[in-house]
Amino acid sequence: MALPKPTPVSVSEINRKAKSLLENQLGEVCVEAEIGNLSRPSSGHWYFSLKDDRAQLSCAMFRRANMRVRFEPKVGDSVIVRGLLSIYEARGNYQLMVDHMEASGDGALQRALEALKQKLQSEGLFDQDRKKAIPPHCERIGVITSPTGAAVEDIISVLGRRSPSSHIAIYPVQVQGTGSAAQIAEAIDAANVHVNTGERELDVLIVGRGGGSLEDLWAFNEEVVARAIARSDIPVVSAVGHEIDYSISDLVADLRAATPSQAAELVTRDSQEWLQRIDMAVAQIDSMTARILRDHRQQIDSLAARLRHPSQQLALLQNKISSNRDRATSLIQGRVTATKHPLAQLNTRLQSASPKKLLKQRKEALDSLASGLPGQMSKVLRDNRRQIEHLSTLLETLGPSATLKRGYAIVTDESGKVLRSAQHVEHGKKIKVALNDGHLRARVEEVEGSQ
């Protein structure tokens, strides 16, 4: 008995089914092996193979994934990768689509971290006596972090609430992935160059980012960042991750903050706190003045008891007391005025930047444009109408009907093709002549014309 003949399928169908079967049956896998045939084209993607002593596996790692790799892989490195087994349908190639890569070995990151800690500690980079003091209140603050992360928003929010007069200079950097550590170190050096050349004044540098895994925070455990912090002439506050996160940057920096928000609080004094300090100073001056006056009165009373006719001396003492009182009052008023003046300036700046004022200006501009819009539309419509009328007149003047009315005729052969030359007509052929008021059918008796 003959077997049934199989139904042919396309190569594309076979590859599609094989891809579906491979992805659904195996799915995501984790492989530990040695890198071979590593290629890095200009697209940013990585193409390589993983091999052991008996086989090899083709792999691809796209740019968005390999940017998160903390080290520069090379041929011969032992790595652990994670990805999805699949087939490239166009060529039928079986490959592993890698989305994560790390150096092989349990605790590789932690071992590298501890080794670098011991090295830097032996060089004295963690010693307290080399750390610089942070000013109690910083008016000019440099921030080295990602321009789009939550850390920079938290810092700006805290500074805006606590110290609106402080100036912030943001040095945007990449805070994780390949090249991020170099960017952070370069930004620290650049800030110092700006200060040393007089291009910018900075009281402190905040270096950090929001929380994440050890892998995410690894840029702040790199030696290049640690040494950039150590050589900085500007005091550095390290603010990496959350309360439980502790990086090498925290150990080298002049001050460690648990979070970026806390860093902003540590380098500034609350404006309300300044006002309270001023009120306390005024109260101390008042108390001191009252005490001085009381002491002088006691002295006067003592002298009055000792002198039989003290009127002249009392008059001198009263003048001195009055002068001291006036000076004390003037000093108090001057101190209070000097304190209120910056606050008034800040209030004026706030009023000038009011959203309500800006909205009013935008509305007036919009109303101006809206009032002129009908006129512009009417003008465009009139111009378009004139153009249409002109083209219609021109079409009527140059059209076939107008040509026939002027005494011309249109001659066609039997198939309806227009005859444009006498050479296209043979003797005895039938032709059709279209006139203004009808058609004529005729036969060619003679052909005349230039040859």
pLDDT in tens, 163-219: 888 899 999 999 998 899 999 999 999 999 999 999 999 999 999 998 877 778 889
Which pairing describes strands 204-209 and 236-240: parallel, antiparallel, or unpaired? Answer: parallel
Residue 106 has a pLDDT of 45
- Asked if 92 and 11 touch (Cβ cutoff 8 Å), the reply is yes
What is the pTM for the complete model shown? Answer: 0.43
Return the bridge partners of 101, or none.
81
Listed in sequence order, the residues at least 6 apart from 77 whose beta carbon sits closer than 8 Å to its beta carbon are: 34, 35, 103, 104
pLDDT of residue 1: 53
Length of the chain: 451
Rounded Cα distance between 176 and 62, Å, is: 17
Mean pLDDT of 35-59: 91
- Residue 307 — pLDDT band, cuts 50, 70, 90? low
Q: Are 249 and 221 in contact (CB under 8 A)?
A: yes
Contact status, residue 272 vs residue 289, Cβ threshold 8 Å: no
d(CA 120, CA 108): 19
What does the buried/exposed string (b/e) look like for 405-430 if buried means 16 or more CB atoms within 10 Å of the residue's CB?
eeeeeebebeeeeebeeeeeeeeeee
Give the Cα-Cα-Cα angle 432, 437, 440 (nearest 5 degrees).
20
Q: Report, as an integer, the average pLDDT of 30-57.
A: 90
Backbone angles phi, psi at 263, to 5 degrees: -60, -45
Query: Does 255 have pLDDT greater than 90?
Result: yes
Give the pLDDT confidence score for residue 70 in this predicted structure: 76
| In the predicted structure, residue 14 carries a pLDDT above the cut 70 | no
Q: Note the pLDDT of residue 9.
A: 65
Rounded to an integer, the average pLDDT of 301-308 is 70
CA 329 to chain centre: 53
CA-based angle 431:432:433, to the nearest 5?
Answer: 120
Given a cut of 80, whether residue 130 has pLDDT beyond it is: yes
The pLDDT tens digits for 135-147 are 988 899 999 999 9
C-alpha angle 353-358-359 in degrees, rounded to nearest 5: 140
